[in-house]
Each structure stands twice: as structure tokens, then as C-alpha cells.
């Protein structure tokens, strides 16, 4: 998300700004890879949320993160006992460098099919670390399904944070129960986002309203996201370590999902009101 990284939204230009060439050590701080539930594993960093979804026919990865995060993701996948080259599909949360900058490198290493929401294609196409063209093997649309090895993920367009910000949902069997898993793209308003009179993204405020409406309509038992801080990942991981595999899973947190939406919508309305008053 890279809060505060720019003054004007030009969200479509975000991925190409020089920031991506800077030191990412703060974002790439390692975090233990672990099983969340069923066939979903956390393979991201201290805060950048990346998820491995395993199936009998190969695996799906959500978020390659920065180009220089890919080796850390690879190490996490292998520490869990899986093959990095088994990743067949690469999905993303939204067209910001801290989530999808590594797509080209990951595709080079695994041959995975890269899938991108239609509205984020212009921004993604400008994301070319090392001068490598950004791969796009399938353009996604709102409600599209991505299927592999008996697992189905649904792409939900939840715009505002970027034009094509994507929230992923899937059902996971854990024991005798089936849970609705939701991986939030983002619905936060970064510092510097222009919500009123934005020439690069005129409909940004309307898109945020649409995004919140969609997110509130989606069932969510297990709340995950493109940043660990969205869903208190570190605290829940610590609890998971304490209770063990047979204890209550702290990642089952529908109330936490609602609380996050409430907080972000309150912030959006405050920022929108401030900018509307200033514009007058």
C-alpha cells in the first residue's frame, strides 16, 4: 500500500514511480510461513500478505509483492515442504508495487499464469522492474472464477484503493466445517489520495462507495488481506501457536472483518468531507 508515498493519486502511475527502486527491507522483513486453515498457507513477509493455496493439480499464489520479495516467498513455500515450481496460477490484490511488482520474476521462475483484474491492467502494464514487461495471461472481470484442482476462487471488484482492486473469496473445508474465506485487496484511503476533482481517477469516490457496498455483501468467516495489519496477523499467529492445530482457530474472525470495514469507511467519509469542504 505504501502509505504516504505520493502526493497526487495518479493511481494508474503508482507502480512506475522511482519508489520501487528503493530499499524494501522494511517491507521484506521475514515472517514464519504457516498454515492458516485447510489448504491456505501464509507465505508473505512481516506485513505483505502472500498466500499459497495448494491443490492436487498445482498451487495458486496470491500476491508476488515486490520484485525483491519473491526469493523470500520462495523460501517460505519451500520451508512448508511445497515446490515453488508447482505454482501454476498467480493472482494479485491490486496494482501497487508492494503486491504485484514481482509478477514477472515469479512467472520466470515458475511459469505460472498471471491473472489481473481488467481495471488494473493499465497500471500493471507500467509496472516493469528491471525493464521486464509485466506478464498478463488472463484478464479478469468482476465475478470471474479461477479454478484449479477442485479449488475455486472468485474475483470481486472492490475499487477505490485502485481502479481494479480485487478481493478474493473461496470456501475452505476444515474438519467437518466449511468456512468462507475472504482475502481483502484493500479499501483504505492512503495519505495524499485525491477524492474530489481527481483528474486521473474522476470516479474514485463513487468507486469507494461501490467497494464498501460490495465488501459488506460478501460472507466472511476467515478474514485475510493484502497487509497483515489489516487482520491483526501477528497477534493471531501467536494465538495459533499457543492453541495448536486442535484449538480454536483465531483467524475465524467475522467481527474483525466488520470492524475493519467500519474503521476504513469512517476514515473515507472523513477524508471525503474534508476535501469537499476544501474544494468549496
State pLDDT tens for residues 81-116. 999 999 999 999 999 999 999 999 999 999 999 999
Q: What is the pLDDT of residue 18?
A: 36
Q: What is the pLDDT of residue 23?
A: 77
State pLDDT tens for residues 16-29. 333 444 678 888 89
State pLDDT tens for residues 193-214. 999 999 999 999 999 999 999 9
Considering 4-13, 241-250, 251-260, the range whose residues carry the highest mean pLDDT is: 251-260
Q: What is the pLDDT of residue 22?
A: 66
Does residue 12 have a pLDDT over 90? no
Does residue 216 have a pLDDT over 50? yes
Contact 163, 203 (CB under 8 A): no
Average confidence (pLDDT) over 246-263: 96
Q: Which residue has the higher pLDDT, 11 or 66?
A: 66
Q: What is the pLDDT of residue 246?
A: 83
Q: What is the pLDDT of residue 224?
A: 98
Does residue 187 have a pLDDT over 80? yes
The CATH class that applies to domain 11-279 reads alpha beta
**Percentage with pLDDT > 70 across the chain:** 92
Q: What is the pLDDT of residue 25?
A: 85
Q: What is the pLDDT of residue 17?
A: 33
Amino acid at each position: 500500500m505504501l502509505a504516504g508515498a505520493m502526493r497526487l493519486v495518479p493511481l494508474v502511475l503508482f507502480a512506475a514511480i522511482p519508489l520501487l527502486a528503493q530499499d524494501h527491507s522494511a517491507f521484506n522483513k521475514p515472517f514464519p510461513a504457516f498454515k492458516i486453515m485447510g489448504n491456505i498457507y501464509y507465505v508473505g513477509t512481516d506485513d505483505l500478505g502472500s498466500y499459497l493455496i495448494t491443490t492436487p493439480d498445482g498451487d495458486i499464489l496470491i500476491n508476488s509483492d515486490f520484485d525483491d520479495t519473491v526469493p523470500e516467498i520462495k523460501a517460505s513455500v519451500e520451508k512448508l515442504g511445497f515446490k515453488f515450481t508447482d505454482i501454476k496460477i498467480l493472482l494479485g490484490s491490486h496494482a501497487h508495487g508492494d503486491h504485484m511488482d514481482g509478477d514477472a520474476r515469479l512467472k520466470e521462475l515458475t511459469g505460472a499464469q498471471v491473472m489481473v483484474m481488467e481495471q488494473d491492467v493499465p497500471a500493471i502494464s507500467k509496472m516493469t522492474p528491471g525493464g521486464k514487461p509485466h506478464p498478463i495471461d488472463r484478464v479478469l472481470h468482476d465475478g470471474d472464477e479461477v479454478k484449479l484442482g477442485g479449488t475455486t476462487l472468485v474475483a470481486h471488484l472492490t475499487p477505490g484503493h485502485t481502479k481494479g482492486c480485487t478481493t478474493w473469496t473461496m470456501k475452505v473445508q476444515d474438519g467437518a466445517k466449511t468456512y468462507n474465506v475472504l482475502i481483502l485487496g484493500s479499501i483504505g484511503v492512503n495519505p495524499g489520495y485525491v477524492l474530489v476533482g481527481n483528474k486521473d481517477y474522476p470516479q474514485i469516490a463513487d468507486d469507494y462507495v461501490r467497494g464498501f457496498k460490495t465488501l459488506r455483501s460478501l460472507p466472511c468467516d476467515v478474514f485475510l488481506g493484502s497487509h497483515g495489519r489489516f487482520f491483526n496477523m501477528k497477534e493471531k499467529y501467536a494465538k495459533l501457536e499457543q492453541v495448536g492445530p486442535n484449538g480454536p482457530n483465531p483467524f475465524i474472525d467475522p467481527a474483525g472483518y466488520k470492524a475493519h470495514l467500519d474503521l476504513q469507511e469512517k476514515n473515507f467519509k472523513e477524508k471525503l468531507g474534508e476535501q469537499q469542504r476544501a474544494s468549496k
